[in-house]
Amino acid sequence: MNNPLQPVELPNAGRVVVKGKRPKTARRNNDEARLDNMQYVLPCPLADSLFLAGFGAVFRELEGVSEVHVGICSDDSPVVYYRLSRRIVKPPTL
């Protein structure tokens, strides 16, 4: 059986992202990152220093991807996920 998750090395950003599909991803209006249900997660230990320039490098290497989830983890807590967009995105209307 194929592993649905794939590591993707980003040498210029000095990071690795995990690429995979969510089984039942709901498509929202103008949500380019989910058109093919593909998701990208950037794992980051809590001790890492995170900078906007570093996120920019990740987006430059993931050409055409408009959204990346950052998974921040520490040794004694669950993973906290933040969704980052390539550009400013208007919140969905409730």
The amino acid occupying position 34 is: R
C-beta separation of 43 from 71 below 8 A: yes
> What contacts 64, CB < 8 A, 6 or more positions away?
32
For the record, the structure tokens of 79 come out as 């993973």
Give residue-wise pLDDT tens across range 10-39.
999 999 999 998 766 555 554 544 445 789
Q: Does the 6-23+33-85 domain belong in CATH 3.40.1350.10?
A: yes
pTM for this one? 0.74
Task: Give the number of other Cβ atoms within 10 Å of residue 13's Cβ.
Answer: 19
Give residue-wise pLDDT tens across range 37-86.
789 999 998 888 778 788 899 999 998 899 999 999 988 878 999 999 98
Q: Where are the domains of the chain?
A: 6-23+33-85
